[in-house]
Structure 1
Amino acid sequence: MTAGSPVRFGLNVHPGVADLDAALKLAQLAETHEIDLLTIQDHPYIADFFDTWALLAFLAARTTRVRLGTNVSPVPLRPPAMLAKLAASLDLMSGGRIELGIGAGAFLQGILAMGGWTPEEPAERVRMFEEAITLIRALWESDRPVTWAGRYVQVRGLRFGPRPEHRPRIWVGATRPRMLRLVGRLADGLLVSNTYVPEHQLEQVHAAVDAGAAEAGRPPGAIRRGYNLMGVVKLAGPDPVTAEIRPGAPVLSAEEWAAELVRLYRERRIDTMIFWPLGRRPLDQAAVFAAEVVPAARAALASG
């Protein structure tokens, strides 16, 4: 768990074009309950998805409290200088509520189909990503024109603005050792998903992040540990479970989910948990998560 940082709970917003009304209802649900964070996956090459940054702006304009972020934006399709501009602009517009989640781009076919490019060699992809995250920070922090001449990322005398009033937290989606060490060295938070990184692998994931933090002289607690919890909340009435539920996705009652969140925080060093409802009735599941699961988990954690 992160020293001095309370546990945070979030909900995933599906960016489907057919789901705009549901996205707005989810944001309103988060506003009125104890939800800290709304995140949206960023896959611009999927035809029936809205652009994630446009949807973030739409939801930011209709909320006042909950934080919003990408989970995660692919650097090969979102040039780092533009990501820095997007995040800073929306952070100012929203009153300092934006979190920037970025990744090296896992879906190469979609990236290439949309005109993006990334090195084939994994080590070079990590190098490109490191240049990107370093440039984003430099642009946010510099009050002078910035010139950056990396192997893969360049800006020349860029007068950057606007600068964010409160620098957004940078999260990184990563699963492999090189990227995990980079998270420890440079990022504010890690994002992994339970259907890709099962619980028994979290210890080695944390160890790689901690090693990177040690290389940079940072305490391990400086990096938040986020877990995308894809699963199902059992509901009264029609069963929300379908045959398409992903392997490794838990199907639990509200009471069982609350206990699971507490256990992940206490035993697995997870301090940020984002629920992705699967199956049928996702909005109903999110409502139970916000109104029942999260308050019960907070109460249990507060009681020690």
Structure 2
Amino acid sequence: MHDLWFGAFLSPEAAGRDRLLRHVMLADRLGLDLVGVQDHPYQPDFLDTWTLLSAIAQRTERIRLVPDVINLPLRPPAVLARAAASLDLLSGGRVELGLGAGAFWDAIAAMGGRRLAPRESIEALAEAITVVRALWTPGEPVVFEGTHYRLGGARPGPFPAHPIGIWIGAIKRRMLELTGRMGDGWLSSSFYSPPEAVAAQAKVLDAAAQDAGRDPAEIRKVYNIGGTFSPLPGPGFLDGPAGLWAEQLTELVFGVGMSGFVLAPGVEAERDLRTFAEEVAPAVREAVAKERGRPAPVERPVTLADLDEAGRPRAPRHDPAALTPEQRRLGRHLVEVHDGYRRELRQVQDAVDQVATGAPRSALDRLSVRQNHWTLGGFCATFCRLLTVHHTVQDESLFPAILERDSTLAPVIKKLEQEHEVIAELLARLDDACVELLANPAGIDQVRAGAERLAAVLSSHFAYEEEELVEPIGRLDVQV
């Protein structure tokens, strides 16, 4: 039985690349499980899928990466195996491989690909799966003689960081049967296969799996979906409020065996992704968990306990009186930097209070309520961005310089880096709350709570860092 995954299906338009990457990073922060990217190498207005997925991997931390689906006729399977394994290693085991037999044959032929008949394309896909898996399996050089692909002693490797699932995009019977025999997952789409059709297709797939001696439940079923969020229910599939979406997707979990839903957002993409991640996905998970008799996962707020103040290591002590005036100045500079962030955070909290009480003044004066929210969001976003840069500089420059001069500080540095991750989560949640405030003014309480949690955690973190690093920075002549 698979855990439920929810994701975003994003169009790789070259002209909208900045917007696309913003949506990817939002999906990662929202806790969505995967991002799917279609692959049409013959489309000149699209970014190359593997290049894009590599860029996405660099900008995200948790979300899985899925080509949805790879155009096999223009991607040699041996090279594809190495590309997928490489990206899985570089991303920390976050890749699944969606494969398709091919379509749009005129465009494929125009790019130099072979034009295949339907039966040939399915045969080629089966051979490609064999090739890919062989090159992911440690062992002797691989010899394979197929009708469409061959290996003449290719050495396996690199090997993925985790067992990459091969998910097959299938609509028609022969492709569904191939998926049942060989696939780790099935990718379908509500744009081509509405719920009634996809239920019938699932039966074909399950029967083929059983005929092949496989348990159909082992095959993850993933549904690319689209719809409209609106206050009132509409006539179509996924047309109405988030509660209606949750009901319809839950029915697909139990009626069809779906375990993944990947949303292609509409014009208001950010709103759609937020609603999907924050309202639909939790409701489906809760309903499914209740039916299965398991507790639904609950998001826990980050608190001071996450810093584990009692477990903080301490550095060996040295006599600060031995420092020269210049060395003491180096250490004090860290405190001065922190004081700047303390002042900035107090200004953010003051701005939150002004908006919450409806009595704006100073920079917020003479603005409408919505303009107040925009300005507050700008304050929060700027603070979050600058503090993130500060911590990144510490992680990549200051901390390595300290460790190079005094390795006994390693436990303290490791703890500070861990606390940076806790603070990064708080910053992301505060930023999300400010964005949500634009759509829901009642969300000011969430913004205020987020700012208060951040202030408490940051105060503790700064104090610990100053206690442990001010003296070593001066003694070791490290520039802050």
Give the AA of the match of 1:267. G
The residue that corresponds to 2:23 in the other structure is 26
Write the distance in 1 (CA, Å) between the matches of 2:31 and 2:84: 24
Conserved 8 A contact 1:90-1:98: yes
Equivalences for residues 153-302 of structure 1 within 5 A:
153-234=149-230, 250-278=238-266, 280-302=267-289
Other-structure match for 2:66: 69
2:147 is aligned with 1:151: yes
Compare 192-201 and 227-236 and name the one that shifted more. 227-236
The alignment's TM-score, normalised by the length of structure 1, stands at 0.90
* Consecutive unaligned residues in structure 1, runs of 5 or more: 237-246
TM alignment of 1:122-133, pairs within 5 A: 122-133=118-129
Give the CA deviation at 1:301.
Answer: 2.3
CA distance in 1, matches of 2:10, 2:188: 16
TM-fit CA distance, 1:7: 1.5
What is the deviation of 1:303?
2.7
2:131 aligns to what? 135
Count of residue pairs the alignment pairs up: 290
Shift, 1:235, TM fit: 7.7
Higher relative contact order (CA 8 A, sep 6+): 1
* Percent identity for Structure 1 against Structure 2: 43
The aligned counterpart of 1:239 is: none
String of CA shifts for 1:216-260, please: whole Å, max 9, x gaps. 211111111111102222389xxxxxxxxxx97643222221222
Contact 1:262/1:297 (<8 A) preserved: yes
Contact 1:225 1:272 in 2 (8 A): yes
Q: Does the CA-based 8 Å contact 1:99-1:169 persist in structure 2? A: yes
The worse-fitting range, judged by mean Cα deviation, of 181-190 and 111-120 is 111-120
Distance, in Å, in 2 between the alignment partners of 1:107 and 1:90 is 27
In structure 2, how many angstroms separate the alpha carbons of the residues matched to 1:154 and 1:147?
Answer: 7
Give runs of ≥4 in structure 1 deviating > 3 Å. Answer: 247-250
Amino acid at match of 2:215: P
Distance in structure 2 (CA, Å) of the matches to 1:148 and 1:283: 47
Is contact 2:221-2:260 (8 Å) kept? yes
Kindly indicate which of the two structures has a greater share of residues assigned to strand.
Answer: 1
Q: Which has the larger radius of gyration?
A: 2
Distance 1:197 1:69 in 2: 20
SS of the counterpart of 2:98? strand
Backbone CA RMSD of aligned residues:
2.0
Cα distance in 1 between the residues matched to 2:212 and 2:103? 26
Deviations 1:253-274 (A, max 9, x none): 2222122221211222211111
| Structure 1 residues 153 and 284: alpha-carbon distance in aligned structure 2, compared to 1, 3 A threshold | same
Conserved in 1, the CA contact under 8 Å of 2:102 and 2:121?
no
Instruction: Judge conservation of contact 2:81–2:132 (CA < 8 Å) in 1.
Output: yes
CA distance in 2 between partners of 1:110 and 1:230 (Å): 26
Q: SS at the partner of 1:118? A: coil
Structure 1 contact 81–139 (Cα < 8 Å) conserved: yes
- For residues 56-90 of structure 1, give each alpha carbon's deviation from its aligned partner in whole angstroms, at most 9, with x where no partner exists: 00011111111111100011011111110110000
Contact 1:130 1:182 in 2 (8 A): yes
Q: Does 1:104 align with 2:91?
A: no
Which residue of 1 is the match for residue 337 of structure 2? none
Deviation at 1:28, TM superposition (A): 1.9
SS at match of 1:76: helix
1:242 is aligned to none
CA contact (8 A) 2:222 2:259 kept: yes
Superimposed CA distance per residue, residues 96-118 of structure 1 (whole angstroms, 9 cap, x where no aligned partner): 00010010012212211211113
Is residue 2:91 matched to residue 1:94? Answer: yes
Mapped contact 1:198–1:248 kept (Cα < 8 A): no
* Contact 1:195 1:248 survives alignment (8 Å): no
1:119 counterpart = 2:116: yes
